[in-house]
Amino acid sequence: MKTLTRRATLAAIGGALATPYLVRSARAGTSVNVGALRFVSHAPSFIALERGYFQEAGLDVSFDFFEAAQPMAVAIASGDTDYAMTAISGGLISLADKGVAKVIGGALTEEKGIPGQKILASNAAYEAGLTSPADLDGKTFGMTQAGSSFHYMGARIAAAENAQLKFKPLQKTGAVIGAIKSGQIDAWSIVPHIAKPLADAGAVKIIGEVADYIPDYQVTTVFTSAKIASEEGDQTRAFLAALSRGADDFNAALVDKTASEDEQEAIVALLAAHVYPDRALEDARAPIVDGAMRINAGMSLNRASIVDQLEWFKAENLVKADIAYETLVDESYVEARS
């Protein structure tokens, strides 16, 4: 039997299920570049594009793809990218302090009862005794850059276990994956759509859950340039509203599973087109379904989590000690909850 590519399957399923959601704008779309990673956590933007939510909002969206959070923040500050959704990093905080970037919403979150980010051990480290986070003392922990979310997570986990870690910056997520598979690093933490397939393939071992160490963690946020946040209010509200519709579809289909089976399948196929563009749908389905974590309704912000992250970056001397929460975050666009 012929194996359908992911795009062919999306065309077949999407023709029946996704097209009714496409509403064409009566006005010309404003061109907007959106920064993204090929992660399930970026589902709201992919859904909003494919189902016409951006177009209905008067936005002509194209994606700029990245492999780490900090380069995305730089692209926002330079004006090359208009909006993005990724983890808070030291680079983003420093750019906010310079008056060129602003967090305007929340996205991926750790929620009790929903499988979230995993703590991984390399097979070599596991065989040598790293079978739980309690065994992390003296181990090497992978990250993209100093001041990345991986740095924050590793430090929080280590502090809870009274462990000392050696952090190894490897610049790109793909490089960290290669390093843990080959045993060049001992441990890492990452979203489930990456962690579970690695573990299922026998390439790594899952030894813990990030949520056990950082409950209610606001994993990713929506951000833009300070200029856009202050001068393009209508455009920004339209963008967030479209993004929120995408988040609602995602949560209903793959987190709460209140949507029909046909709708769930349509969302999986749609996401496969962006997250795994070179895989057949049958190969992409499991990591997408297993990797579903909550996206905040209305793109709301968890203020307490962002404050905790900001204070950690300050304590580690990764950003200036006098940066205020209000310098980083503009709460005028979405609900902020403590």
Task: Give the per-residue SS3 of 40-63.
Answer: HHHHHHHHHHHCCHHHHCCEEEEE
What's the pLDDT tens digit per position in 97-115? 999 999 999 999 999 888 8
Element housing 93 (H / E): helix 90-97
7 part of a folded domain: no
Domain limits for position 301: 30-111+217-328
Q: How many domains does the structure of the chain reveal?
A: 2
In a shared domain, residues 224 and 312: yes
Pick out the chain residues at pLDDT < 50.
1-27
Instruction: State the pLDDT at residue 9.
Output: 36
| 333 within a domain of the structure (yes/no) | no
Task: Note whether residue 18 is domain-resident.
Answer: no
Q: For residue 168, list its beta bridge partners.
A: 142
Domain co-membership, 205 together with 245: no
Which amino acid is it at 200? D
| pLDDT confidence of residue 276 | 93
Which pair of structure tokens corresponds to residue 145? 């850059």
pLDDT score of 12: 34
Which residue stretches of 166-223 are H helix?
A: 173-182, 192-200
Q: Tens of pLDDT along 169-178?
A: 998 889 999 9
Tell whether 205 is covered by a domain: yes
pLDDT averaged over the chain?
A: 90
CATH number, domain with residue 188: 3.40.190.10
Task: Identify whether 42 is part of a domain.
Answer: yes
Model pLDDT, residue 338: 79
Q: Please, are residues 118 and 57 in contact by the beta-carbon 8 Å criterion?
A: no
Same domain? 229 vs 316: yes
**CB proximity list for 221: less than 8 A, separation 6 or greater:** 85, 86, 87, 88, 103, 105, 106, 107, 301, 306
Other C-beta atoms within 10 Å of 107: how many?
27
The two beta strands, 59-65 and 30-36, are parallel
Whether 156 is covered by a domain: the verdict is yes
Pair (38, 67) in one structural domain: yes
Q: 22 and 245 in contact (C-beta within 8 Å)?
A: no
Which phi and psi angles does 223 have, rounded to 5°? Answer: -145, 165
Residue 334 in any domain: the answer is no
Is residue 198 domain-shared with residue 141, that is, in the same domain? yes
- Per-residue pLDDT of 163-206, as tens digits, reads 999 999 998 889 999 999 999 999 999 988 899 999 999 999 99
Is 19 domain-assigned? no
Which pLDDT does position 14 carry in this prediction? 38
CA-CA distance, 249 to 48, in Å (whole number)?
9
- DSSP sequence for 290-320: HT---B-GGG-EEHHHHHHHHHHHHHTTSS-
Contact 66, 172 (CB under 8 A): no
- Do residues 266 and 301 both lie within one domain? yes
Q: Give dist(CA 69, CA 151) in Å, integer.
A: 12
Among 169, 186, 212, give the residue marking a domain's end: 212
Check whether residue 97 and residue 228 sit in a common domain.
Answer: yes
